[in-house]
Structure 1
């Protein structure tokens, strides 16, 4: 009878062993013994670890996350507008979830969850083999119980010591909790990216719905996020996230959790995430509000160790208006004009920030340009020079001659080397004339200009150089907007703020903003003079594109050398808005001035902001009528105009006035000779005003040098 295959194999093995020397038998026996011991050890390991696992002293609240403080933000009307920190959602039981939601996580993370104990030996062997091939720890082979132990008690480090501790804790959990309790706790505690903890928090973040209403496709997508929530985020690549969700669906079919027909139906309707452009644009505001909430709560003696509800000054409609205006204009003109970024700040004259946009897209860059980017303001800084001038006895209606200027070798020139001749001080600001501004700063003193800016709320370093008058020291958009809010308030210092109240989840008030004592930093007569001059910027100067239909406004344009930055800062009696556009790393734009793109964005934002508001005139000084003429000034502040004070102190008239000429009032006001018919600056007559001061070191920024005439190259 012929031999069977097993018999032949046994005979061949016996023959081979007979040929081995005596030491070979010993080695083979030793190897077999090692294999038996190793296999037995693996078999006994769960029992051994279960015996070694200490009794587990579980925290009182297993659902309390090991995470930073979370903020829930309310708008000015008390409606929720966002969260910061952890987004937890509602605590759910397995029975409250769709059956396929926990099944998706079990299929993806631990398909034998209900069959094994705290550890899965098959998974461990698979991980050990992968780690041996890689030469370092790349897989954990962790069960859901082990992952929960890591979430509850351990760090995410990938070391063998932590793995051992994780196993012990997993056995302790299994000895204390049921499988159902472990899975429930896991699904409520797992981090799934974008600040979301638990399936309900993630459902709100990605799909804007509770976890109880998730579809099968959406549940499968969430299950893909456990291993690398940032790398696998559907926000990063939705198509890849959908492909990974298909893998989860296949696994669920293999495990019997769903049928193939159900998987095919889910594939036909893949999960899509909600648009987060609006919510993410709010994040610039919420970043600043969170910083302020931490600061004010700490000031009140609270260490901010619990979740907080923060009432803010945000007006969501204005926030969205500002976002849309910035994005629309950058999308329309950005590529053509070589401009990629911008910032918008809207606040009330008392400093309450109504809207803040710190960049074009929060997903692309979380850097908040509105609060942190320090850029040269250019001519948007000039109002501090003119305010210092009127506070020191110079009238807006005094005249100066626009001629060559040489300040210790520094020779500033006007945009396009244009000369305006004899002009009023008011018209010099309206037309943004560099030469007159530089001379005024010298007349009152650079230190006086700095003190004036400081009094209005500018806190950034200001270099005591002659070129400071033309805006060469850097400031943030929020800082400059707040200074203009001081102008809009009639000279009462405006300090920007985002938060009006902070309380914990139990309703305990930790902070409530009380109206601060009003501090007058600008005399009323000087405030009205400045308003009159900044009104002229919009009425007939470089800011004409910002003019609002039916509402008076005042403002100032700003453009820096080589078009690195462009600004428009302006206000009505109700709102103050600052707009900056430019590029990160100061790449030059293509001819963008403050009177173009920024003024247009400002106009769009303020048109919406002022809708339905009463049209009240800005309180401003009336220019004196021409001598011996009975003339009603179109700029006069009537008795009904807010801010007019007949008892305000008279200005100091002791300083000499210069260059008074017998001309018509309009010639005199707008700085023209009688034969000069150019009563408006050219459309692009915004000054390039970042001249470097040769008097001292260039410690105010990276402005390039000037040529021999002092004009920017």
Structure 2
């Protein structure tokens, strides 16, 4: 029994020793854990004090409102009036006293409640952000103070690395050491990016609410405060209801911080902020985006000069025509008929014959899509490419008035057909162009050589890659609306080389001229006699061909329709002696439209824009060669009010007008009472004919 008891005591002693040893190890682990957690926390809370000691003073001679900001542009139109801005100089520099008190309070409530009590770095905020991220298992909070955010704007970028974070904290300490809280907050509110190309609260207030930040309501101030972290995602232009809901969160937070009362918050929620309609202003952004890139290239001398500060850019923009293009695109594409026809996008370019781009619409809604279809979208031009086929033909010695037979064409298993399967028999090249006869265009391209067609198009300014195959005669190689319009400007200029341009002069903030356009001696790229023949052919398209819907009646115009296979794209590009305009309609996903041809919607849109462009200008005739024998022309083409058969005119008249403006509906009525093409051209009254060749591929 004693031995048993002794054994038990020895066992108990051993177990007790094991417990003590285990306890020591646990204690050591606990000490290590406490040390690992405490030392960094201690260092974190001591960091502001350390940084305040080692941070160097800030060079206050530099302009902190311009430091490391994007080059700021002020754009002037063709008449010298301000039409837009880009960069940080969107709004005025405001002091806190010029702002309503609740505006800075809204940003403080959302971004940095302890702004006035910390020294640039807020340890509590960092810990709070860490805990929030751990709970969410992903980054939901950054813990950056307003001072740190200001430091990022001024001195660094938005990179998220440990090294960058340490540098930002040092820069924040520099700001706190050299500036007052008031100065830091003013810098922040005047430099923060809030989306839609708006920098600073005043710029954002003008963009979203059409007013200065001085006049913002409480609800509007709260909405701006929601835009600091993801301005494009949270933009009220994308989802106003969601933006108003987020503004409600800001208001509740402001109540918590004591910035406003509950009654004020309730009043603001009862009258939520709404954004202004900036459709007219935003539509200019397609033009200004392109002008900005051009100005940067020209003013920097293709990168050889470093640009900084503010730039004043003189452009060729004509606001009246820009607005006409915007209104036409918006009204037509958003109309019921266009939606029924599955037409969702458009691009319009208007320029002068020397290449000065006076209007550009790259899409129906810039706020929805900044993709500039006028210069970035490559689409097949269809029959709008045929003028280059006939240009090559004329240069090879053919005449517009010689004839060709419309007969089947077979090239390596490919057999092009005419629009609607129509047959034309024997007709002149001029009529083949006017009615867009595919078979004859392909025949002519084969006759003169596809390489010659490509060369003619390149000479006129088509820069996109052109595949030298048989189908190029029907416009199967893709081009942009800008380059096709500028190529037609060569026709409008009488055969002179045209380089499209938007910028005439760039000045620095101090008035220095960094770039000034020099007028060069124009280079002739098409012989005069050839150009007159081609102009006569393009005139026929509008006067009695597939482009008759673009007829301006009181002045001559030339142009060409274009429709691609299965109605993926539809074009009309045309000119007078004063302006050249190109119109494209289609869908971004290349889905087919329903029966939309170049002679319908695009021609109607072209006419709507060009009527505004020509308003007040004296009518001028095109410099074109006359028909070889005017009286010997097909009488069915000369005696009709439209140059179309009754069936074809009915087809055009019954084509959905795509909610065309009232002046076009009046033109339609005018068309039915006019004395006819013969009367318009030569004078006198002619009876309406019974038949006429039908239009070809529109």
CA RMSD of aligned residues (A): 3.0
Distance 1:23 1:376 in 2: 81
**1:179 corresponds to:** 181
Mapping 1:71-110, distance limit 5 Å:
71-110=73-112
Mapping 1:582-597, distance limit 5 Å:
582-597=586-601
Extract unaligned runs of 5+ from structure 2.
1-18, 640-677, 679-688
Change (3 A) 1:49 1:439: same
Q: What secondary structure is seen at the aligned counterpart in 2 of 1:370? A: helix
Distance 2:531 2:40 in 1: 88
**2:331 corresponds to:** 328
**2:307 corresponds to:** 304
1:413 aligns with 2:413: no
Q: What secondary structure is seen at the aligned counterpart in 2 of 1:371? A: helix
> Among residues 256, 278, 282, which one is paired with 1:280 in the alignment?
282
Change (3 A) 1:224 1:411: closer
**1:701 corresponds to:** none
Equivalent residues of 2:68, 2:155 under 8 A apart: no
Q: What secondary structure is seen at the aligned counterpart in 2 of 1:185? A: helix
Mapping 1:218-297, distance limit 5 Å:
218-297=220-299
Change (3 A) 1:169 1:429: closer
- What's the offset of the Cα at 1:541? 1.0
Mapping 1:470-619, distance limit 5 Å:
470-619=474-623
Equivalent residues of 2:88, 2:191 under 8 A apart: no
- What's the offset of the Cα at 1:45? 1.6
Distance 1:245 1:92 in 2: 23
Equivalent residues of 1:69, 1:307 under 8 A apart: yes
Equivalent residues of 2:45, 2:123 under 8 A apart: no
Deviates more, 1:438-447 or 1:322-331: 438-447
- What's the offset of the Cα at 1:576? 0.8
Change (3 A) 1:188 1:331: closer
**1:49 corresponds to:** 50
**2:3 corresponds to:** none
Equivalent residues of 1:564, 1:588 under 8 A apart: yes
**1:373 corresponds to:** 377
Aligned length: 626
Change (3 A) 1:342 1:62: same
Change (3 A) 1:490 1:268: same
**1:680 corresponds to:** 692
Distance 2:356 2:44 in 1: 67
Distance 1:119 1:408 in 2: 74
Deviates more, 1:365-374 or 1:146-155: 146-155
- What's the offset of the Cα at 1:27? 6.0
Distance 2:138 2:161 in 1: 9
**2:470 corresponds to:** 466
Change (3 A) 1:525 1:62: same
Distance 1:146 1:442 in 2: 68
Change (3 A) 1:573 1:101: same
Equivalent residues of 1:50, 1:171 under 8 A apart: yes
- What's the offset of the Cα at 1:237? 1.6
- What's the offset of the Cα at 1:363? 2.5
**1:696 corresponds to:** none
> Among residues 348, 358, 361, which one is paired with 1:357 in the alignment?
361
> Among residues 189, 211, 214, which one is paired with 1:212 in the alignment?
214
Distance 2:48 2:376 in 1: 58
**1:196 corresponds to:** 198
Equivalent residues of 2:351, 2:579 under 8 A apart: yes
Change (3 A) 1:108 1:37: closer
- What's the offset of the Cα at 1:441? 2.1
TM-score by length of 2: 0.83
Change (3 A) 1:480 1:680: farther
**1:166 corresponds to:** 168
- What's the offset of the Cα at 1:392? 2.8
Distance 2:248 2:422 in 1: 67
Distance 1:686 1:207 in 2: 50
Distance 2:477 2:259 in 1: 65
- What's the offset of the Cα at 1:347? 0.8
- What's the offset of the Cα at 1:614? 0.6
Distance 2:432 2:41 in 1: 93
Equivalent residues of 1:594, 1:686 under 8 A apart: no
Q: What secondary structure is seen at the aligned counterpart in 2 of 1:594? A: coil
Change (3 A) 1:446 1:38: closer
Change (3 A) 1:392 1:23: closer
Distance 1:356 1:280 in 2: 12
**1:393 corresponds to:** 397
Distance 2:407 2:566 in 1: 23
- What's the offset of the Cα at 1:409? 4.8
**2:157 corresponds to:** 155
Q: What secondary structure is seen at the aligned counterpart in 2 of 1:193? A: coil
Extract unaligned runs of 5+ from structure 1.
1-19, 636-665, 667-676, 689-713
Change (3 A) 1:261 1:462: same
Distance 1:54 1:115 in 2: 19
1:454 aligns with 2:458: yes
Equivalent residues of 2:315, 2:502 under 8 A apart: yes
- What's the offset of the Cα at 1:37? 5.8
Equivalent residues of 2:422, 2:696 under 8 A apart: no
Q: What secondary structure is seen at the aligned counterpart in 1 of 2:349? A: strand
Distance 1:448 1:219 in 2: 63
Distance 1:360 1:62 in 2: 38
- What's the offset of the Cα at 1:219? 1.4
Equivalent residues of 2:342, 2:594 under 8 A apart: yes
1:482-523: CA deviations, max 9, x gaps?
111111111122221111111111111111112221112222
Distance 1:164 1:599 in 2: 61
Deviates more, 1:404-413 or 1:261-270: 404-413
**2:319 corresponds to:** 316
Equivalent residues of 1:342, 1:359 under 8 A apart: yes
1:109-149: CA deviations, max 9, x gaps?
22232234333343233223224445565433233223323
Distance 2:370 2:630 in 1: 55
Distance 1:584 1:273 in 2: 27
Equivalent residues of 1:343, 1:579 under 8 A apart: yes
Q: What secondary structure is seen at the aligned counterpart in 1 of 2:255? A: helix
- What's the offset of the Cα at 1:51? 5.6
**2:646 corresponds to:** none
The structure with the greater share of residues assigned to helix is: 2
Equivalent residues of 1:314, 1:353 under 8 A apart: yes
- What's the offset of the Cα at 1:577? 0.8
Equivalent residues of 2:48, 2:173 under 8 A apart: no
TM-score by length of 1: 0.81
1:633-681: CA deviations, max 9, x gaps?
989xxxxxxxxxxxxxxxxxxxxxxxxxxxxxx9xxxxxxxxxx77534
Equivalent residues of 2:69, 2:154 under 8 A apart: no
Distance 2:627 2:598 in 1: 27
Q: What secondary structure is seen at the aligned counterpart in 2 of 1:299? A: coil
Q: What secondary structure is seen at the aligned counterpart in 1 of 2:375? A: coil
Q: What secondary structure is seen at the aligned counterpart in 2 of 1:568? A: strand
Distance 1:628 1:433 in 2: 21
Change (3 A) 1:221 1:436: same
Distance 2:80 2:398 in 1: 47
